[in-house]
A and B are shown apart, each in its own frame.
Chain A
Amino acid sequence: MSNGMIEIRFHGRGGQGAVTAANILVYAAYKAGLWGQAFPFFGAERRGAPVMAFARISKRRIRVRSMIRHPDIVVVLDPALPKLVNVLDGLKQGGVIVINSPSKPEFGEGYRVYYVNASKIALDLNLVLAGWPLVNTAILGALARPLGFEIGVIEEAIKDYLGGGRGEVNAKAARRAYEEVKVLE
């Protein structure tokens, strides 16, 4: 955390909602009295291909605009992604990994790992689009833990962003993930 700022990188697949998750996080940060900034990886995106999104959170207004190279936290929306891309690239020593995973993931020493079966939560709540479980809101619930955010702030941000019944059910997914997430020190 440099200059009191937390930098987060989201790994997902095109269509999984990594960018939406980063945007909702800005809403949540603002509700928590913080400043937030979210941006996609600047390139062409294809459905199913590995994609990234980024967010910064700080107590002060964020002025920097460059890419995030050394995140404090990486968020992984798809359990299979670590086999395809180096999700640990540039992650700071002692950094945090938040991953959607049905079982205990292996990342070696030196990281704090939060894992939750976000796919199951999404399927249980019938959060499915074109056959894919929508895990982006559940993963935000898990991310609330290392960020020290109250889950209420995340729920509110999700409801604001998505609105209506969609907001309600996605907020539910976030709360379940918040309650079910496990941490490996």
Chain B
Amino acid sequence: MVVKPLTGNYAAAYAAKLSRVKVVAAYPITPQTTIVEKLAQFIEDGEMDAKMIRVESEHSALAAAYGAASGGVRAFTATSSQGLLYMHEMVWWVAGSRIPLVMAIVTRTLGPPWNIWTDHSDIMDQRDSGWLIMMAEHNQEVLDETIKMFKITEDPRVFLPGIVGLDAFILSHTTEPVDIPDQELVDTFLPPRRQPYVFKPGDSLLMGNVPRNLKENMRMREDIHNSLEAAKKVIEEVDEEWGKLTGRRYGGLIECYRCEDASHFIVGMGAWVGDMREAVDSLRTNGIKVGLIKVRYVRPFPREDILKWVVNAKSVIVFDRSVSAGSAGPLFLDVAAHLMAAGIRVPVKNILAGITGLDVTYEDIADAVLKSVAEVEETGKFSRFIEWYYGR
């Protein structure tokens, strides 16, 4: 174990190296590029026994990683924004093929106009594809969860690919101390590679042909859904196991901050959860009983975990850093739908902020929450369910 100041991107690269990834395929795009640059350097310096496949596009990057993983090795790729959209067709293909592999997404907004700053439009655009999707709050979590993601995705109860998301610049290019575990520890933690089938030369296997039986085809989709549901338990088990080895437990699909006696709940995901913690502390100092639910995994969606906390809440305020234009923020839509389906009647509101990379301070968050709480305390409801928040 050694503590070293690392950027979020380097934390992802160290994690891929420690997980003994054998094939990396990627195409450069800001702000992801330094992940693959670092991996290329590891390979060049002989510190990592892997092949780097240089490709002409993100679509090919994931296709190559998928090919390698189908052949029986751990594979890794990383991308952002427009690159991820270009890759999108393969994103579905890999999940549908039930091939575990891990991808880092450095979240960056989508154009036009060209903009390199963070929001969650790109990663949330993948949420129906069947991948496990998590967002990290800090660089340590990037490293830890990337290693854990190999174990989770290669569990026979799951057998699906997984995404580790980290916010552009505010994690990807921010340096902070990170505990890098020893290779021996990671080797003990990660079992040999497991996957549902392996493509081998001379051992023919036909995949992806036009189906004769559409019921079977539909069952394949249901099976992906069921495996994501089953992944919830695996995520928790792996979190606990990693916690025993390193002392770092994150709480599975969500992490709750000052929730025990809270009457109002904030829900958020990604690096700005750190600022939300600061906002909760500041609101608590002013006597507002606020708790914070940090969504770590957005797929599978932590329905049970969230409902358990908010069942008796006075209000729920969901922060989204992206929007499903014409409806609402995607995190809000999940929370609101599952509240309703479970028969929980609690005022719920969506705050859309930080979209296109607009800087959000903890004072902004505290301000938006304070006003919302004041309204619900006075009237018992929110007069509008969506607020576009541009700062104080």
A interface residues, Cβ below 8 angstroms from B: 22-23, 26-27, 30, 35-40, 42-44, 62-67, 69
| A35 shortest CB reach to chain B, Å | 7
Q: Which residue of B lies closest to A24 (CB)?
A: B5
B interface residues, Cβ below 8 angstroms from A: 3, 5, 116-117, 167-171, 173-177, 271-272, 274-275, 277-278, 357, 359-362
Is B5 within 8 A of A67, CB to CB?
Answer: no
Is B176 within 8 A of A26, CB to CB?
Answer: yes
Q: A65-B271, A67-B359 are in contact. Are A42 and B176 (CB under 8 A)?
A: no
Is A37 within 8 A of B174, CB to CB?
Answer: yes
Is B170 within 8 A of A65, CB to CB?
Answer: yes
Q: A23-B5, A37-B176, A63-B275 are in contact. Are A42 and B117 (CB under 8 A)?
A: yes
In whole angstroms, how far apart are the Cα atoms of A42 and B271 in the complex?
Answer: 15
Is A27 within 8 A of B5, CB to CB?
Answer: yes
| A136 shortest CB reach to chain B, Å | 15
Is B176 within 8 A of A35, CB to CB?
Answer: yes
| B64 shortest CB reach to chain A, Å | 29
Q: A23-B5, A65-B275, A67-B359 are in contact. Are A39 and B175 (CB under 8 A)?
A: yes
Is B174 within 8 A of A39, CB to CB?
Answer: yes
| A1 shortest CB reach to chain B, Å | 15
Q: A30-B3, A39-B170 are in contact. Are A63 and B278 (CB under 8 A)?
A: yes
- Point out the residues of chain A lying under 8 angstroms from B275, CB to CB: 63-66
Is B116 within 8 A of A42, CB to CB?
Answer: yes
In whole angstroms, how far apart are the Cα atoms of A43 and B173 in the complex?
Answer: 11
Q: A35-B177, A39-B173, A39-B175 are in contact. Are A66 and B3 (CB under 8 A)?
A: no
Is B3 within 8 A of A63, CB to CB?
Answer: no
- Point out the residues of chain A lying under 8 angstroms from B171, CB to CB: 65
Is B174 within 8 A of A38, CB to CB?
Answer: yes
Is A64 within 8 A of B362, CB to CB?
Answer: yes
| A27 shortest CB reach to chain B, Å | 5
| B374 shortest CB reach to chain A, Å | 23
**Which of A35, A36, A66 has the most chain B CB atoms closer than 10 A to its own CB?**
A66
In whole angstroms, how far apart are the Cα atoms of A95 and B277 in the complex?
Answer: 27
Q: A36-B5, A39-B169, A39-B170 are in contact. Are A64 and B274 (CB under 8 A)?
A: yes
In whole angstroms, how far apart are the Cα atoms of A66 and B174 in the complex?
Answer: 11
- Point out the residues of chain B lying under 8 angstroms from A35, CB to CB: 176-177
| B248 shortest CB reach to chain A, Å | 12
In whole angstroms, how far apart are the Cα atoms of A85 and B187 in the complex?
Answer: 51
In whole angstroms, how far apart are the Cα atoms of A117 and B170 in the complex?
Answer: 33
In whole angstroms, how far apart are the Cα atoms of A78 and B359 in the complex?
Answer: 27
Q: A63-B275, A66-B275, A66-B361 are in contact. Are A30 and B177 (CB under 8 A)?
A: yes
In whole angstroms, how far apart are the Cα atoms of A38 and B177 in the complex?
Answer: 10
Q: Which residue of B lies closest to A66 (CB)?
A: B361
Q: Which A-B residue pairs are the 9 nearest by beta carbons?
A: A63-B274, A39-B174, A66-B361, A42-B169, A65-B170, A26-B5, A38-B175, A37-B176, A23-B175
| A160 shortest CB reach to chain B, Å | 9
Q: Beyond A39-B169, A40-B173, A63-B277: 20 further Cβ-contacts under 8 Å?
A: A22-B175, A26-B176, A30-B177, A35-B176, A36-B175, A37-B175, A39-B170, A39-B173, A42-B117, A42-B170, A42-B173, A63-B274, A64-B361, A65-B167, A65-B171, A65-B272, A65-B275, A66-B361, A66-B362, A69-B361
